[in-house]
Structure 1
Amino acid sequence: MKRTFIIILEIALLVVVLRSSFVQYWLGDIQESLSNWMTEIAQTAERQELAALRDRVRPNIAAMNDYQKDYVMDMLSSRTKMEHFQLYYCINKDKNPFVYGATLLYLCSEIGRTSFD
């Protein structure tokens, strides 16, 4: 009987402590930190693939103007920008004021070769 009463009292105390605002704030910070950490780990492969793509493309865009090179490197800086470029300029054949002709075809083929999961 005494043991049961102590266990119930411990459970009630644990519930009160866990519902306090300080503990909720602390647990929220831990959850946010872990979430950010797991996101970084998940994006590591994506960053490596983008870096490899930039390295493959860099020699072939060397003859471009500086603003064109900056545009291409910015476009290859994130998966979202690259997919946007691919959708509009490779798939839908929209006109791009910075990249056109053989360079556009080359970029589209290199982007098509990337293997994102």
Structure 2
Amino acid sequence: MLLVLSSFALLPLLASGYFYSAHDGRHSVFFVTMFDEAIRDGALWPRWAMHHNQGYGYPTFVIQAPLAFYVAEVFVLLGFGITNAVKIAWALGFLAGAWGMYALVRSWTLTLCHSA
């Protein structure tokens, strides 16, 4: 049921042209590209993005939370491509958030029902 209800919000990811006009679509692809490059260079915990800051580099992965990059990187290494890997990571994050809210509300309602 949660997957069906979430699909309405996830469908725009499948539309052509939507992703790159999204507020963070291009940035996410660029960040995952830099993350993938650092992983392939042997850094298992990348900290420095070489092509940021007009080629001087920037500690992007110290400032940004790395979990989403690692999730996307798994799909890049499986051969999905950068853009599709970012879309899959976004979708998985959305579904994890939906499941988390469901679990939270369920625990609240069960607590209220037992305390009444």
- TM-score tier after normalising by the smaller chain length: under 0.3
Q: Which has the larger radius of gyration?
A: 1
Which structure has more helix as a fraction of its residues? 1
Query: Larger RCO: Structure 1 or Structure 2 (Cα < 8 Å, ≥ 6 residues apart)?
Result: 1
